[in-house]
Amino acid sequence: MAIVGDQRMRDSARWLVERHHARHRPPALPAACAPRDISEAYAIQDEFVALKSRACGPVVGYKIALTTPQMRRFVGLHDSIGGCLHALQVVRAPASVRAADYGRLLVEFEIALLLGSDLKASGAEYTPHLVADAVAAVMPAFEIADDLGADYATLGSRGLELAADNAWNEGAVLGRALEDWRGIDLASVRGVALVNGRIVGEGRGADALGSPLAALAWIANHLCGRGRYLRKGDVVITGSLVPSQFPRAGDQLQFDAGPLGAIELAVN
């Protein structure tokens, strides 16, 4: 029975890869491919990430999605979800992307954390205070994602598919790494998002799970619960502080994270 289940996860992951190659998301996963619970969703994600790594490089970090109660209700899930970042899709700002390379480009405005030490399972849950010592640097970041033209009216029944599809991640753009960050209250950091010089949203570090360190603790516990752990050198993007943007070719994006610095992204 386990072999049958494993094959189903592989078939589901290949189906997702085909959708990405086609740059189009159909109304729903076929019943034979759809995850039936969150455990299956992550098992499919594992297979999908393994296939994606062939072209996009090994996993070098993680993302957290659905960091607000409103977003979790929107997709019908009760918890945040994690996804993986691939080496060839993580770049330094200033950077550029081509809108034509995505089904529908989606950009989020986040605070990223660089790990200076491992966060292995210790028998107790990690807290924001416990993970803080492992953070070597902090930086502003864009998350690059692709919703493949998803129908948002149907997402309330497709949260498990979102988890299986690596939470739609297609990379990250990182700003300058700030190593001397400990005098900064990350929960209070004000982030301002601009598109073509116009402010489109602003928020605080607290808007993503209460603080970037709380988000880091969440992903650390999530990975430990799956027999894995955060490693020295991993990057974690901790959730968008402002509403997602859907830029088009010709747009210029900026994210000003106050004491953490500012970054830019050109969409060609």
Going by pLDDT thresholds of 50, 70 and 90, the confidence category of residue 8 is: confident
**DSSP β-ladder status, 59-65 and 81-86:** antiparallel
H or E stretch covering 199: strand 198-204
Residue 93 has pLDDT above 70, yes or no: yes
* Domain residue ranges of the chain, discontinuous segments joined by +: 2-267
Tokens for 39, please give them. Answer: 């455990």
Q: What is the pTM (predicted TM-score) of this model? A: 0.94
Q: Say what the pLDDT of residue 2 is.
A: 40
How many helices (H) and strands (E) the chain has is answered by 6, 12
CB 149 within 8 A of CB 105: no
How do beta strands 169-174 and 90-92 pair? parallel
Mean of per-residue pLDDT scores for the chain: 93
Phi, psi (degrees; rounded to nearest 5) at 110? -135, 170
pLDDT at 242 over 70: yes
Q: 């004491």: which residue's tokens?
A: 259
CA 265, CA 256: separation in Å to the nearest integer? 12
**CATH code for residues 2-267:** 3.90.850.10
Q: Is 114 exposed, middle or buried (0-12, 13-18, 19+ CB in 10 A)?
A: buried
The string of pLDDT tens digits covering residues 12-58 is 999 999 999 988 877 677 888 889 999 999 999 999 999 999 999 99
Region 193-217: what's the mean pLDDT? 96
Its sign, for the CA torsion 209, 244, 76, 56, is negative
Amino acid 26: pLDDT? 73
- Structure confidence at residue 5 as a pLDDT band (50, 70, 90): low
DSSP reduced 3-state for 50: helix
Q: Are 209 and 80 in contact (CB under 8 A)?
A: yes
Query: In which residue are the tokens 């070597």 written?
Result: 136
- Calpha distance 84→59 (Å, rounded): 6
Beta strands 105-115 and 95-97, pairing class: unpaired
Q: What is the pLDDT of residue 28?
A: 72
Given a contact cutoff of 8 angstroms between Cβ atoms, the answer to whether 229 and 59 are in contact is no
Q: Residue 203: pLDDT above 50?
A: yes
For residue 35 the two structure tokens come to 């995850």
Of the candidates 101, 89, 111, the residue with the CA atom closest to the CA atom of residue 211: 111
Pair 171, 90: CB distance under 8 Å: yes
- Per-residue pLDDT of 144-200, as tens digits, reads 999 998 888 888 878 899 999 999 999 999 999 999 999 999 999 999 999 999 999
Q: Which residues pair with 57 in a beta bridge?
A: none
Provide the 8-state DSSP code for 208. T
Tell me what pLDDT residue 3 has.
43
Q: pLDDT by residue (tens digit) across 105-147?
A: 999 999 999 999 999 998 899 999 999 999 999 999 999 999 9
| Backbone phi, psi, residue 148, to 5° | 55, 30
